Amino acid sequence: MTVEDIKEAIAELPKEERHSLAQWLNEVDYDEWDSQMVKDFSPGGRGAAWAERVKREVAEAKARPFDEGLAGVKAKRQESKNHG
């Protein structure tokens, strides 16, 4: 069976079954995504050092809430526009 055969079969499904299939496919994608995130942020993963730095900054009270950081970025951009 080819991908085109599968597409044709899906096109013939009733709407409810297509919806059910779409939900299942999304779950498969999200499961793969979740597995990759766990791998990336586990010890030795490519995001592990970043995660440890964030944890350390939070523990040392050096981190700011996201909305404060975002407001600072927006303010810097506006300042650059005003002076540029």
- The model's pTM is 0.46
Q: What is the mean pLDDT of the chain?
A: 92
Q: Distance (Å, rounded) from C-alpha 31 to C-alpha 20? A: 17
Contact 45, 39 (CB under 8 A): yes
Which residue, chain included where needed, has tokens 């909305």? 67
Which residue, chain included where needed, has tokens 């730095």? 53
Of 32, 31, 51, give the one whose Cα is nearest residue 43.
51
Q: What is the pLDDT of residues 40-76, one digit of tens each?
A: 999 999 999 999 998 999 899 988 888 888 998 899 9
Contact 41, 47 (CB under 8 A): yes
* C-beta contacts of 71-75 below 8 A and 24+ residues apart: none
